[in-house]
Amino acid sequence: MVDAVQIISILIAAHVFLFSGLAYSQPATTKNVIVVDVTGEGSGGKESTIAEVEQMAKQDAMRQAVEQAGVYLQTETGVDMGMLTKDEIKSWSQGMVRVLQVLETTTDFNAEMKAFRCLMRIKAEVRTRDMSDMLERLKERLAAEEAAREGLERQKNEAGDLQKQLDELKGQREQAPSFPKLRPSQRTVRPEAGEMVHVSDYGFYIDKYEVTNEQYAAFLNEKGNRSEDGASWLEDDSKHVLIEKEGGQFTPKSGYGDHPVIVVSWYGAKSYCDWAGKRLPTEEEWQQACQGMDGREYSWGNSFGSDISNISGSDDGYDKTSPVGTFPGGASPYGAMDMSGNVWEWTSSLYVSNKNWRVLRGGSWGSGAIIARCEDRYGDIMVLRLSSGGFRCARRFYR
């Protein structure tokens, strides 16, 4: 296809040819000087003067220029504008303006009108393309906005579904019994092993009370007082021990059945928890059960008070151990008793990364108020059997 540059080149050449003058033309006043046969039919054809021949030559040259420039091709043969790019169409528009400028100097009215119609057609096509581009951009914008709306609606639906699930879980939690049903694969907790409380914010259970002499004696009567790492589970020959053996049976000393067991090694504590269908708590679990979500200093709150725990220096009425649960005012947020004072409690956690040492928590009857805080910790060797040391058990599920 002839482009705009070619159009202009052709038209300029035609213009120069037509209006710069024919070298052989005669003055305008010359009439009928030479008779020329322009039909090619001999003397029988039409005869014209040189002036008429020159005029026909001018018209024919302009017509040829217009045809070569593509005016007729655009208007008469219906060239598909859709095959051209927008830049090509704009180039044609600029070229047709030049065509009209040239044609204005001629007397070929038909060619000028054809060129004008072609120019209008080209400009209409440009406007159509511009409108099409604008429409496409609008469609893209609307599509993007619709996608954003759909995404927002999807997020709202997902948030609604999550809220429903959360509400269902809250309802299940409110309706659940105090002790959820145990998985079939889990061991059953022995009834004689004592009550547990649910540390609901962290998802586990812990003994409400420290393990008592009566409970530990039942364990020894079934398992015996074995030794591990060179030390017996219970130091039964200690002057501090509160369990005695008579007639082959272990029994608490009179009046001490509900006191926490003492002089028991870490191995002895772990073995009891295994026997009871439980385990020793980690020190993190122990602290969570003691201070709850608010990070309190003591199991009952942030201020130390008398008559709420068995701690050295307080007016609690006990020289050493006291019956478990004696001080209900010292309960933790989850109802665990005696977590500050009475006896130190073994945990399963290593102390300073030493495999032979374990962490104890909670302080004892011999500890001051500072040591009995929920966050304080103490460590010792696993075979140590403290006269102020006991334990309690934990479990992920409870029945």
* pLDDT tens for each residue of 325-370: 999 999 999 999 999 999 999 999 999 888 899 999 999 998 888 8
CA distances from 177 to 172, 278, 288, 396 (A): 10, 20, 22, 15
Q: Which of 190-204, 303-317, 375-389 has the lowest mean pLDDT?
A: 303-317
pLDDT above 70: residue 175: no
Per-residue confidence (pLDDT) for residue 285, from 0 to 100: 96
Q: Per-residue pLDDT tens for 259-282? A: 999 999 999 999 999 999 999 999
Give the DSSP per-residue string, 174-211: HHS-SSPPPPTTSPPPPGGG--EEEETTTTEEEESSPP
Overall pTM > 0.75 = no
What's the CA gap between 85 and 82, in Å, rounded? 8
Q: Determine the Cα–Cα distance for residues 218 and 221; give it in Å rounded to an integer.
A: 5
Short-list 248, 264, 150, 265, CA closest to 212: 264
More reliable by pLDDT, 13 or 161:
161
- Provide the pLDDT confidence category of residue 28 given band limits of 50, 70 and 90: very low
* Residue listed under structure tokens 């966050």: 375
Of the pLDDT bands very low, low, confident and very high (cuts 50, 70, 90), residue 147 is confident
Phi, psi of 205 (to 5 degrees): -120, 150
Q: Does residue 186 or residue 309 have the better pLDDT? A: 309
Contact criterion met (CB below 8 Å) for 268 and 229:
no
pLDDT of residue 64: 54
Q: What percent of the chain is modeled with pLDDT above 90? A: 43
SS3 119: helix
Q: Is 45's pLDDT higher than 50?
A: no
Look up tokens 């010359």; give the residue: 30
Name all domains of the chain by residue range, CATH numbers in brackets: 4-131 (no CATH), 191-395 (3.90.1580.10)
Range of lowest pLDDT (113-117, 237-241, 289-293) = 113-117
Over residues 105-123, mean pLDDT? 61
Run of H or E residues at 378:
strand 377-381
Question: Is 338:194 a contact under the CB 8 Å cutoff?
Answer: no
Could you tell me the pLDDT band of residue 15, with boundaries at 50, 70 and 90? Answer: very low
- Is residue 141's pLDDT more than 50? yes
Residue 214 near residue 252, CB atoms below 8 Å? yes
CB 374 within 8 A of CB 181: no
Mean pLDDT, to the nearest integer, of 286-294? Answer: 95
For the segment 102-116, the average pLDDT, to the nearest whole number, is 59
